[in-house]
Structure 1
Amino acid sequence: MRRFWLGLLLVIIVGVFYSWLNAPEWLAGWNEEHQQMVEQQREAGIATGRQTDQQGCVSEVLQRVESCKESEYRCTVSGGTFFKACWENSQPSPGICNTTPPYHEAATEDDKAWVKDRCTELGLRASGCRLIMRQQQQLCGTEQ
């Protein structure tokens, strides 16, 4: 039994050492892939924004985030990037910000309740929708 544990310990040590040696290459590859994804989403957001209004951007990004099959991190980052680029390049939607509460850096209880209620009202999953609703708060706040 002792031999088993020593062997297992040796395998773990070799695995950690191997991972440590390859970490910089992995990180560089991940960073490059991440930057490409962000740029693609930004370009897609710009193109969509030129063809729609702000409400169209909200609808499109919520659909994208909701149907995303990637990791939650990747879905929310790509959705947020797409949304900001779309919003900034779209036509204004009269009244879209009228029911959006003011943005606070640290979300207040009222902010959290509005986001939760809005996502529930839309019948959408919490994680991606909540990020987009917070981003809408922020974008509406910059227009006022």
Structure 2
Amino acid sequence: MKKLIWGSIFAAVVAFFIWAQVSGDQWLADFNAERTAAATAFYEKGLEQGKVQNQQACMDDAVKQIAQDLEATTAIDAGHYLRGCWSAATASEGFCADVPAYNEEATNDEKEWARFACYDLNARSDGCRLLMRQKQLFCKQ
């Protein structure tokens, strides 16, 4: 009886790995295509909104997007939206004031700035901190 149980478990594990090998590549290709399409759509949406907004309004919109949904893909989509929006938006006075200099490796001061900026916006998700990093990079340019 033990041999039958262990044999069944082994067969199930082998079947799972075969299934993962066969369908895994297609799943990844589908996922990548979906994310590429989403990135383009959010960038274009941001581009359209940026034509009628300033930089701060773009940032506010992106923060609202991540506040509504805490999924990682939402933060990524909001980042694409923000890049598109900023590329067409008018300048906001003082938008880059008090933004720390961007470094490839974030310093503790930069992390603290992002954390407190998100607290001030009542957006405490990790996505907000990623948007703040994006703001740092934007203000560096």
The TM tier, using the shorter chain, reads over 0.9
Give the equivalent residue in structure 1 for 2:36. 35
Residue 116 of structure 1 contacts residue 126 of structure 1 at CA under 8 Å; is this kept in 2? no
Give the equivalent residue in structure 2 for 1:130. 129
Give the equivalent residue in structure 2 for 1:60. 61
Mapped to 2, the partners of 1:18 and 1:99 lie a distance apart of: 53
Residue 67 of structure 2 contacts residue 125 of structure 2 at CA under 8 Å; is this kept in 1? no
Residue 63 of structure 2 contacts residue 128 of structure 2 at CA under 8 Å; is this kept in 1? yes
TM-score by length of 1: 0.92
TM-score by length of 2: 0.94
Give the equivalent residue in structure 2 for 1:101. 100
Mapped to 1, the partners of 2:80 and 2:66 lie a distance apart of: 11
Q: What is the percentage of aligned positions where both structures have the same residue?
A: 27
**Structure 2 residue 6 is the aligned partner of structure 1 residue 12:** no
- Corresponding residue SS for 1:110: helix
Mapped to 2, the partners of 1:62 and 1:94 lie a distance apart of: 19
List alignment gaps of at least 5 residues for structure 1.
none
Mapped to 1, the partners of 2:125 and 2:111 lie a distance apart of: 11
Cα displacement (A) at 1:35: 0.9
Residue 76 of structure 1 contacts residue 128 of structure 1 at CA under 8 Å; is this kept in 2? yes
Cα displacement (A) at 1:135: 0.4
2:77 corresponds to which letter in structure 1? S
Cα displacement (A) at 1:24: 2.0
List alignment gaps of at least 5 residues for structure 2.
none
User: Which piece of structure 1 moves more, 21-30 or 101-110?
Assistant: 21-30
Give the equivalent residue in structure 1 for 2:118. 119
Residue 79 of structure 2 contacts residue 131 of structure 2 at CA under 8 Å; is this kept in 1? yes
1:113 corresponds to which letter in structure 2? E
**Structure 2 residue 26 is the aligned partner of structure 1 residue 25:** yes
How many residues in Structure 1 have an aligned counterpart in Structure 2? 140
